[in-house]
Chains A and B, each alone.
Chain A
Amino acid sequence: MQESPKYWKGIEELENSPEFVKNALTEFADFLPVKESHGTSDATVAPRRDFLKLMGFGLAAATLASCETPIKKAIPYLNKPEEVDPGIANFYASTYFNGQDYNSVLVKTREGRPIKLEGNPESPITRGGLSARAQAAVLSLYDGGRLQHFAKKGAKIDKDQLDQEVRNALAGAGRIAIVSHTIISPSTKKVIAEFAGRFAGTEHVMYDVNSASGLLRANGGVLPAYDFSKADTIVSFDADFLGTWLSPVEFARQYVTNRKVSSEKRSMSRHYQFETNLSLTGSNADVREPLKPSELGEAVLAVYNAVVGGGSASAYTDKSKKVAAAAAALQKAGSRGLVVSGSNDPAIQTLVAAINQKLGSAAVDVAAPSMIRQGDDAKMSSLLKAIGAGQVGAVIFYNANPVFDHPMGADLAAALKAGKVRTTISLNDRLDETGELCTYAAPDHHFLESWNDYEPKRGYLSLAQPVITPLFATRQAQDSLLTWAGNPTTYYNYLRTQWKGVLGGDFNKAWDKAVHDGVALGSAAPAAPAQAAPALDVNAAISAIKSAPKPSGIELAIYEKVGLGSGTDANNPWLQELPDPVTKATWGNYVTVPRAYAMAQKWEQGDVVKVSANGKSVELPVLIQPGQAIGTIGIALGYGRTKAGKVGNDRGANVLPLAQMRNDAILYTNSVTLAATGTTEPIAQTQTHHTIMDRKPVVQEATLAQYIKDPKEVTEYETISTPDGPQKPNKVSLWQDYEYKNHHWGMAIDLNSCIGCGSCVVGCQAENNVAVVGKQEVINRREMHWMRIDRYYSSATHKSDFEEKGKLATYAAMEDPSENPQVIFQPMMCQHCNHAPCETVCPVLATTHSSEGLNQMTYNRCVGTRYCANNCPYKVRRFNWFSYYTNEKFETVNGHMFTDLGRMVLNPDVTVRARGVMEKCSLCVQRIQLGKLEAKKQKRRPKDGEIVSACAQSCPTQAIVFGDMRDPESRISQLLRREDGERAFHVLDAINVQPNITYLTKIRNTESSEFNA
């Protein structure tokens, strides 16, 4: 028998030593015998060969590791919540109210994090619309500038310890003041009442940055609710009701209801606007006249005299035909007339109320009044004086920042610094200008982390529910107050108890429904006090107007911007970069100056001037503003924050110290002196050419008279000369048309409904992860917004000038807007052309046409030649000039793409675009896909209205209709059929790119269109 030869692995195996036996069983050596083999224990001496071995291994390991995609942490749910499916969004109803702007919202959450707010269509007030500010609020949730813990003098402190100290301090504080903006939450008010019950001497003082104290006083302590849809004649005296006044989202919807036209309804309201600055509302007015703030009273008086009669003669009557026309129109309209004023002067508001009363205006409701402004200027200023005098023992600032946003803020700051108040507590979400002067900080939750209720209008309730666990160690302010008041209930239970008295029937069911819907009918507020007598009678008001000091020199009108508002959200980059609807400026405020004055002073846009009043001054750049009343300037409040956070600090200057107090009300006007400083600061505008240059194919408009006469005559359609006579441009084509077998997505934008508010811009930004680029890059004309709103002013030239004065002179004259221009807004985004010029020129086929009519951008394939952008007639393509999420230049402004915290806001369905890649509107293709998938799961076709782009969703006036043009029953198909040949037009029809976006001609309710070119 032959024995198979035995091979030894080595001499060790042959010897079979115990050492070998031990090691033979382990495949790998336990350790690399670095030191041992060398026989020394000195770790610093690594033998050369071992060193090389380790080096080699390290290199190989590193190389191999780098071949793999880095593994990102993805942690699965240990216990998956029943309602959360990864990849599928959940919507929760909630409410946004920042002290001035009420919106009922739906919160879109993905995997438990809120990523977008949408309008709640269930709300009878905002009806699915959403303001830009509310859109942007979701980003504020992830704001790293929020205070992330309780603090004492800025240093972290234990919650219980803070509670203990605060309770002790409050116990012997004497007079305690709770300072807040308007609170429309009935339960919160109850909490404050309970707190006041525990600590005697507590008073709750509300104030508003954009105060309506004068309006409240003139109406006997009641804020009328308005319904602009019930008015055929609207006369507004400096009330920016579409942009910033009281409840713009609600008003915009009402306003537009009576402005939408069709060949069946050829009527619309007529809107007169008398104002100082060119506001968003003024831009939409049919008749607008600029006037000085000091003339406002006289102008109202003139209307009062005409409508009611009996007042002393107004100096303004003969001066303006437009005032007379407005008065006559009001008289004709009777109860269908409405006068509103944004003035905070009770005298003016008294006259306005009297006019409305005389008219019997159906649009004013004082029985179910609005709650949205409750601030009392008189109370606030007496409190501030008391604080200055050291009479207040403790102050609690509840989401209020009066050091910044009250005209007497500097006095308050001085008092707080001087320790005039023994105990100061801030419930603000950050150590802001006021908060950092307070001893204690007990930061409130963000509203998306909170329970709360709201009653914006008597009889209309809404709820906020938390949609995410609190991100930081904060506590809801109501809980803090309850805790300090010694009530151990949580605010949630407190709230439910409150609502038990409101909701009838089975409470649990009703409550669930209310939480689900976000809104409910009923009132939780205590029975309304009867409307008191107005603070002033009409005669006193007239004499107050007559005796008002006549300012000499330039008058300043302080206004609020549609985007940033009072400045509470100044650290929100989406709002900072949202172009102002009228000036198209971003990132800061400026002095709006009439052209004539700037020319007289030899000021160019961007020259910094010093504006002084009240012994205080601000330095801001000049922006030449058509429509600005002669002899006035305008400056926006809300800017100049110093403690808002990285994004919001030092943007512009705070103008509120230049406001004045008169008749115990804040007057947002003053006489100022201006002086050039010799320095310049460029203003970051997204649009720098302001007139339409006689380009009818770009944007079209007509008058109501023309429309009534013949709807087929209001739109100019270009034709192409062919051998068969003039033809529509799309009849002549070298191209093969696409065949759409399934869907053909399209959009219609009614220029009559679009008010230019910019809510769609932020909605699109949130939906599509559009980067923020900051001031300098906006100046470089590189903002990334997929959706923009073009704003054109009319110029003083007429079409006939071309013949009379020649082309060169006329074009040159057209560059400048007229002194009081008509304004037109045009939302502009990718037109999804069927014959897209961008598609043919891309060398690598990165942009192609889909089988459903979409012009698609394939980011992965894009090499970034920018040829498509050059060849886009609409200039809607946006290029990633830098890596906006890694380049440190953008860390301040686009910070949310840099941190794990901020990145939670990103929509996981949309790629964050890399450097060097082109991007543009996709018509929210992710939403289209989602809608189709949902329908497919249910084995049906998508229903019309089920799929809505983000812009259409957020539009407060429903100016944007999105849908399937292949479905003959869809709203868009019906609309286009109806408007074909009437108002429907394509921008730049003659170049035959055949867009899928259709616009509807704007109709103005004026005698003759002043909008020429």
Chain B
Amino acid sequence: MQHVSPVREPLVTGGKTYHDVTQDVCRQVEAAPNIRWMAALSVALFLLGVFFYSVYRTLWYGIGEWGLNKTVGWAWDITNFVWWVGIGHAGTLISAVLLLFRQKWRTSINRAAEAMTIFAVICAAMFPVLHMGRPWLAYWVFPLQNTFGSLWVNFNSPLLWDVFAISTYFTVSLVFWYTGLVPDFATIRDRAKGPIAKVAYSLLSFGWKGSAKHWSRYETVSLILAGVSTPLVLSVHTIVSMDFATSVVPGWHTTIFPPYFVAGAIFSGFAMVLTLMLITRVVFKLEDYITLEHIALMNKIMMVTGSIVGVAYITEFFIAWYSGVEFEQYAFINRATGPYWWAYWSMMTCNVITPQLVWIRRVRYSIPLTFVLSIIVNIGMWFERFVIIVTSLHRDYLPSSWAMFSPTIIDIGIYVGTIGLFFTLFLLFAKFFPVINMAEVKSVLKYTVDNGPTYTGHDPHHHVHQPATTHGVPASASVNYDKHD
């Protein structure tokens, strides 16, 4: 039940048929890996090696391998954690919120965005465990039965809320993502030639037959999961922000944090989706599915969330001044003018000023500019977390304890290493899983009148606007005459 405007831009270009979609998406799964993919995987695996080495040093010798000190107890670890969690937000937003809002354009990007979410959350989850002094006891944060008597976890601690929030989010995202994959796995299974592929995709597709009953259940599950995930989009980063907001540290203790963090998360999530999509569409020749229109739409979301983040930055300063609390005021003066001024101004430039360029249409539709922009936003959002965590901690209440933080090679190794982990997972996903949700894309092929599948496949004029039976309403679309809408 949807209303479709005849002036709407097509969601898939290139006059694709249903078969073309299947072919285009399955091609990279079925073909031998190309050289660019191999090269990318090699780099990712090297970085993964760096990750394992750094983790080994951390686990064997202790957290002392990092640059932390008595004053700055969290720095790159939690910065990276929040950064990755933030990146992991776009997937759910795209697949759940946009699904509920009937944003059809999401169909060609939701699969990869969800995968990105899951891999980003995996990367994020590394840090809460690794940053522990005794990570082998990490299971103590779960409310488990134990042999120590009536020991229980502390339900007051935001870190515990984190545990629940992240694990819930990860589980739901994974199930959602996998549910969407099932029909596509079945497609690949049906086309598979090799015996291994056949068995593997058979197992993965859970015996999907494509019957009406299956589709009905698929739709229902998708809708339920979308409903379940939507609050998660808000809750996860809200809870992450409470790690800071519930503390007494000036610069952390701020009630604006939950919405500010959620906006920031979506902001960075879309930036990362853009980064990945721009690469994927070129590498896998999916320009017709991930169109300029997609890029422009994502740019807009980025700009809106970026502006929210910018307002939040300014509000923080206002409230610090307005509160009259000297510690709070100093925390923000120190952010902007103290020893870490460069981090603060990097953050401001990357997150507040750069996204405003998207107002310009040419920027919005430019692939190279969008790519650069998305990278800048990713950098800016990393700095945001660094600024919040380190510049608040390094000069808090007692000047006697003020200290500086500088990362060690292991700090850098773990961060770069998680990027390696992320890309290893993403590249494996892109090679062996369908990166675009074939089933859903097929449902939007006939989304606009001029872009309906041409069954002849030879009509050179298929892009010419064809008169519809009812003026303004494409014949293929269901029509909503409800004017109250």
Query: A residues engaging B (CB < 8 A)?
Result: 687-695, 698, 777, 780-783, 788, 790-792, 807-808, 811-812, 826, 828, 837, 840-845, 860-867, 869-871, 873-875, 877-883, 887, 914-918, 987-988, 990-991, 993
The residue of chain B having its C-beta at the shortest distance from the C-beta of A877 within the complex is B70
Chain B residues lying within 8 Å of A862, measured Cβ to Cβ, are 133-134
Contact check: which of B62, B329, B337, B393 meets A870 at CB < 8 Å?
B393
Residues of A within 8 Å of B400, CB to CB, are 687, 689, 788, 790-792, 826, 828
| A840/B157 in contact, CB under 8 A | yes
Taking A695-B399, A781-B70, A879-B63 as contacts, is the C-beta distance between A843 and B159 under 8 angstroms? yes
Also in contact, A867 and B140, with CB within 8 A (given A689-B399, A790-B400, A840-B156)? no
A844 touches B330 (CB 8 A): no
Name 9 extra pairs, CB < 8 A, besides A688-B404, A875-B70. Answer: A687-B401, A689-B399, A808-B333, A864-B134, A865-B132, A870-B73, A871-B247, A873-B398, A916-B134
A916 touches B132 (CB 8 A): yes
Set of chain A residues within 8 Å of B61, measured between Cβ atoms: 882, 887
Q: Which 8 A-B pairs have the closest CB atoms?
A: A864-B133, A916-B133, A881-B64, A790-B400, A866-B73, A781-B69, A875-B401, A689-B402
- What are 18 A-B interface contacts by the 8 Å CB criterion? A689-B395, A693-B330, A695-B399, A781-B70, A808-B333, A840-B157, A840-B246, A841-B159, A861-B148, A863-B133, A867-B159, A871-B248, A874-B398, A879-B70, A880-B62, A881-B68, A887-B62, A915-B62
Query: How many residues of chain B get a CB closer than 8 Å to chain A's CBs?
Result: 56
Determine whether B163 belongs to the interface, using a CB cutoff of 8 Å to chain A.
Answer: yes
Tell me, rounded to whole Å, the shortest Cβ–Cβ distance linking B475 to chain A. 59
Q: How far is the CA of A740 from the CA of B29 in the complex (A)?
A: 69
A92 to chain B, nearest CB (A): 37
Chain B residue numbers with a CB within 8 Å of A808 are: 333, 337
Neighbouring A residues of B156 by C-beta, 8 Å: 840-841
Return A69 CB to nearest CB of chain B, in Å. 15
Q: How far is the CA of A472 from the CA of B246 in the complex (A)?
A: 57
Q: Is the CB of A867 within 8 A of B73?
A: yes
Which residues from B are CB-within-8-Å of A880? 62, 133
A689–B140 CA distance with the chains assembled, in angstroms? 38
Contact A875 B396 (CB under 8 A): yes
Secondary structure of the B contact surface, majority rule = loop
Is B16 interfacial (CB-CB < 8 Å)?
no
Known: A808-B337, A916-B132, A993-B248. A865 touches B159 (CB 8 A): yes
Distance of B341 from chain A, by nearest CB (Å): 11
**Is the CB–CB distance between A840 and B74 below 8 Å?**
no
Interchain CB contact under 8 A, B141 and A841? no
Counting chain A CB atoms within 10 Å of each CB, the highest count among B70, B135, B248 belongs to B70
Q: Which residue of A is nearest B321, CB measured?
A: A807
Do residues A870 and B132 form an inter-chain contact, with CB atoms below 8 A?
no
In the complex, A34 Cα to B253 Cα: how many Å?
Answer: 74
Q: What's the dominant secondary structure at chain A's contact region?
A: loop
Cα–Cα, bound, A915→B65 (Å): 12
User: Nearest A residue to B253 by beta-carbon distance?
Assistant: A991
Of B63, B154, B243, the contact of A845 (CB 8 Å cutoff): B154
Minimum CB–CB distance from A220 to chain B (whole Å) comes to 47
B151 within 8 A of A: yes
**CA separation between A837 and B250, bound complex, in Å?**
13
A216 to B400, CA, bound (A): 41
With A691-B399, A828-B400 known as contacts, the answer to whether A841 contacts B247 (CB < 8 A) is yes
Please report the C-alpha to C-alpha distance between residue A612 and residue B438 in the assembled complex, in whole angstroms. 81
| B284 at interface, CB cutoff 8 A | no
CB neighbours (8 Å) of A873 from chain B are 248-249, 396-398
- Max chain B C-beta neighbours (<10 A), residue from A688, A845, A870, A874: A870
Most buried by B among A808, A842, A843, A878: A843
Across-interface contacts of A878 in B (CB, < 8 A) = 70
Contact (Cβ within 8 A) B152 A845: yes
Count of chain A to chain B residue pairs whose CB atoms are closer than 8 Å in the complex: 178
Asked whether A861 and B159 contact (CB < 8 A) given A691-B399, A879-B133, A988-B397, the answer is: no
* Chain B residue nearest in CB terms to A693: B399
A812-B141 contact in complex given A781-B71, A863-B133, A881-B63, C-beta closer than 8 Å: no
List of A residues within 8 angstroms of B157 by Cβ:
840-843, 867
**Complex: how many Å from CA A861 to CA B149?**
12
With a CB–CB cut-off of 8 A, which chain A residues contact B330? 693, 811
Q: How far is the CB of A33 from chain B (nearest CB, A)?
A: 44
> Could you tell me the distance between the alpha carbons of A874 and B247 in the complex, rounded to whole angstroms?
13
Interface core residue of A687, A788, A864 (most chain B CB under 10 Å) = A864
* Chain A residues near B63 (CB-CB < 8 A): 864, 879, 881, 916
Residues of B within 8 A of A (CB): 61-64, 67-71, 73-74, 128, 131-135, 137-138, 140-141, 148, 151-154, 156-160, 163, 243, 246-249, 325-327, 329-330, 333-334, 337, 393, 395-404
**Alpha-carbon separation in the docked complex, A871 to B157 (Å):** 12
- Contact (Cβ within 8 A) B333 A780: no
Chain B residue contacts of A874, Cβ below 8 A: 397-398, 401
| A791: chain B residues within 8 A (beta carbon) | 400
Known: A780-B69, A864-B134, A917-B134. A991 touches B248 (CB 8 A): yes
Contact B133 A869 (CB under 8 A): no
CB-based contact A844/B154 at 8 Å: yes
Query: Which among B140, B249, B395, B401 is the interface contact of A861 at CB below 8 angstroms?
Result: B140
In the bound assembly, the distance between CA atoms of A629 and B401 in angstroms comes to 27
Q: State the Cβ distance, A913 to closest chain B Cβ, in Å.
A: 10
Known A844-B141, A870-B74: A864·B397 in contact at CB below 8 Å: no
Q: Which residues of chain A are within 8 angstroms of B395 by Cβ–Cβ distance?
A: 689
With both chains docked as a complex, state the minimum distance between the C-beta of A720 and any C-beta of chain B, in angstroms: 11
CB nearest to A840 among chain B residues = B156
The answer for the CA separation of A993 and B330 in the assembled complex, in Å, is 20
Q: Assess whether A863 is in contact with B137, with CB atoms less than 8 Å apart.
A: yes
Contact at B398–A828, with CB atoms within 8 Å?
Answer: yes
Which residues of B lie under 8 Å from residue A861 when comparing CB positions?
A: 140, 148, 151
Among A694, A781, A792, A988, the residue within 8 A (CB) of B403 is A781
Query: In the assembled complex, which residues on chain A have CB atoms less than 8 Å from the CB atom of B325?
Result: 990
Question: Shortest distance in angstroms between A43's beta carbon and chain B's nearest beta carbon?
Answer: 40
CB neighbours (8 Å) of A865 from chain B are 128, 131-133, 159
CB distance from A182 to the nearest CB of B (A): 37
**Roughly how many angstroms separate A34 CA and B249 CA in the complex, as a whole number?**
71
Please indicate the chain B residues that have their CB under 8 angstroms from the CB of A812 in the complex.
Answer: 337
* Across-interface contacts of A788 in B (CB, < 8 A): 400
How distant is the Cα of A667 from the Cα of B261 in the complex, in angstroms?
65
Whether the pair B69, A782 counts as a contact (CB closer than 8 A) is yes
A918 and chain B: residue at smallest CB distance: B133
The residue of chain A having its C-beta at the shortest distance from the C-beta of B158 within the complex is A841
Residues of A within 8 A of B393 (CB): 870
Cα distance A790–B400 when bound, in Å?
A: 6
Question: How far apart are A999's CB and chain B's nearest CB, in angstroms?
Answer: 13
Asked if B153 contacts A869 (CB within 8 A), the reply is no
- B154 and A869 contact, CB distance less than 8 A: no
Chain A residue with the shortest CB-CB distance to B159: A843
Contacts of A698 in B (CB 8 A): 397-399
Give Cα distance in the complex from A729 to B396, angstroms.
20
Complex CA–CA separation, A808 to B321 (angstroms): 13
How far does the Cβ of B178 sit from chain A's closest Cβ, in whole Å? 29
- Could you tell me the distance between the alpha carbons of A534 and B124 in the complex, rounded to whole angstroms? 79
Q: In the complex, what distance in Å separates the CA atom of A365 from the CA atom of B337? A: 57
Nearest CB of B to A392, in Å: 52
Residue of B152, B327, B337, B395 contacting most chain A CB atoms (<10 Å):
B327
Residues of B within 8 A of A844 (CB): 140-141, 151, 153-154
Give the interface centre of B157, B246, B395 by most chain A CB atoms within 10 Å: B157
Chain A residues lying within 8 Å of B137, measured Cβ to Cβ, are 863
Q: Which residues of A contact B337 (CB under 8 A)?
A: 808, 811-812
Contacts of A993 in B (CB 8 A): 248
Which residues of the other chain, A, contact B67 by a CB distance below 8 angstroms? 780
A698-B400 Cα distance, complex, nearest whole Å:
10
Residues of A within 8 A of B249 (CB): 870-871, 873
A692: nearest residue on chain B (CB-CB)?
B399
Instruction: Name which residue of chain A comes closest to B247, CB basis.
Output: A871
